[in-house]
A and B are shown apart, each in its own frame.
Chain A
Amino acid sequence: MTKESKQPADGPLAEDKNEEKGESGLHMNRRVFLGTVGAIGGTLLLGRPVKSHAAEDFEGYPNSFGLLTDLTACVGCRSCEKACNEENKLPAPDKPFDDSSVFEEKRMPTQKAYTVVNRYENPKDKSKPIYRKIQCNHCKEPACLTSCPIHAYSKTPEGAVKYNPDLCFGCRYCMTACPFYIPAYDYWSAFEPRIMKCTMCLPRIKAGKMTACAEACPVGAITFGKREELIKIARERIDKNPGKYVNHIYGEYEVGGTNWLYISGVPFEQLDFPTNLPKKPLIEETKGFLSAVPIVLTAWPALFGTIYAALRHREEIYEEEKGEGKKEEVKK
């Protein structure tokens, strides 16, 4: 038996040459060990996020309420803005609610107005502009809720995305997460800043009423009811007047569906609706990554540490044996 035969060698031929079962057994065990660790690690990394609890589909609360804005019906009277202002006891607007000069620029909801109406040119009839009401769309699976690190948001069975100012600590992640750029921040309040956005008049809904804007709308451009029923009404209107409407219920599938729905006579992108949104809720885009974070932080150090230790051990043995071999050569 020579020392050469003991040296770690690659390939089955080298193993066959080994006479000492112990040495070759150690070699094989290491390989099997590394393979097994790799397989387990891979399973943890790949399998876990896909099957994680959060990945299960949420179909939204059944019987939740919603609103349907018919953009062909709105006449830009701004009654909804006024009703919203009164209902939520918001500060008086800079310009009165019957002032049409606000239409000269495109507005977004602010901390002083949960909803605003913008004017667009009507390509079908220049004399009758299109008015678009903007407010929180109350997503079925809201990005603001999932981005909030402190659970200041909740999705209520009534359909509203509710914000709790008592929990909010002002990180404003929700503002960047919202695909519709809706949450506004009350920067002007020095001691009690908070996110300001449409509440879907949750107290009114709970009291058996409809939202203030829907009740105020004189032309039926805002219809309040069960979301499922509103989809049927919207579908029926489109089917009965295919020339009047584009065949799209905005909010039926956008970002997993929203409780506020829209039908329009012109394509939605012409009215500045974001039309590049996925049909899946936005959380689906980050869920895989986010659920991998805890595993990366716990399993990866253990896995790579073990691999490193195993390789280091192998090198140490190699160095040791190399050293011993030299000594023997010197003795000879």
Chain B
Amino acid sequence: MKKRACIVVGLSLSILFAAYLYAGDDPSASAASSAARLPGIRVLSSISNWYEPVTFDHAKHVAIAGKCGACHHHGNGNTSSCEQCHKLSPSVFKNSVVNNFLPCSGCHGAPDRENPSMPGLKVAYHKKCFECHRGMGNVGLDPKGCTELCHAKKMEKVGMRSRP
């Protein structure tokens, strides 16, 4: 019982600290609203092709990674303008910094050959996943590892190859 209480306290402190990093001197209010506005479990299906869609649990990942910003990174110096993600009016700026995370697809779309330094959505997803998941089991080490934690393989399409 004591252990569980300690973990809960520790987790909430870490979330508060993560929020504090983003919200400056007003941690309590924004952290509470951040937890309330977590997107929860999302099915990432927009680019599913060879593999089934991925079911992504935000709460589980925030609990482990500690902060939303671990994945929802801050541009890379390539973000075109602050307004793209944040509301710039002084009264709501801090709140918008903490709460207005764009989904990956908010910036990353279909890969663009005219802009090769900008990863497409598939690459953006996988790069972030592999930062932690590579080496868990066979993920990122064996082609079969793709199906271990993340997504099942779809059935092979029949009649794809015309030349024997």
Contact A229 B116 (CB under 8 A): yes
Distance A98 CA – B51 CA, assembled complex (angstroms): 12
Contact A219 B116 (CB under 8 A): no
Contact A225 B116 (CB under 8 A): yes
Contact A78 B127 (CB under 8 A): no
User: Quick check: is A76 within 8 A (CB to CB) of the other chain?
Assistant: yes
Distance A28 CA – B141 CA, assembled complex (angstroms): 84
Interface residue count for B (Cβ, 8 Å)? 29
Contact A128 B141 (CB under 8 A): yes
Distance A49 CA – B123 CA, assembled complex (angstroms): 50
Q: Which residues of B contact A (CB under 8 A)?
A: 50, 111, 113-117, 119, 122-123, 125-127, 130, 134-135, 140-144, 146-147, 153, 160-164
Contact A98 B153 (CB under 8 A): yes
Contact A218 B126 (CB under 8 A): yes
Given A75-B140, A75-B141, A128-B134: A219 and B127 within 8 A (CB)? yes
Contact B141 A220 (CB under 8 A): no
Distance A242 CA – B91 CA, assembled complex (angstroms): 42
A208 — which chain B residues lie within 8 A by C-beta?
A: 113
User: Quick check: is A215 within 8 A (CB to CB) of the other chain?
Assistant: yes
Given A128-B134, A225-B116: A215 and B161 within 8 A (CB)? no
**Among A98, A210, A220, A224, contact of B127 (Cβ-Cβ < 8 Å):** A220
Contact A100 B126 (CB under 8 A): no
Contact A98 B146 (CB under 8 A): yes
Given A76-B143, A77-B146, A127-B135: A92 and B161 within 8 A (CB)? yes
Cβ-closest chain A residue relative to B157? A86
Distance A77 CA – B134 CA, assembled complex (angstroms): 12
Distance A100 CA – B163 CA, assembled complex (angstroms): 25
Contact A128 B146 (CB under 8 A): no
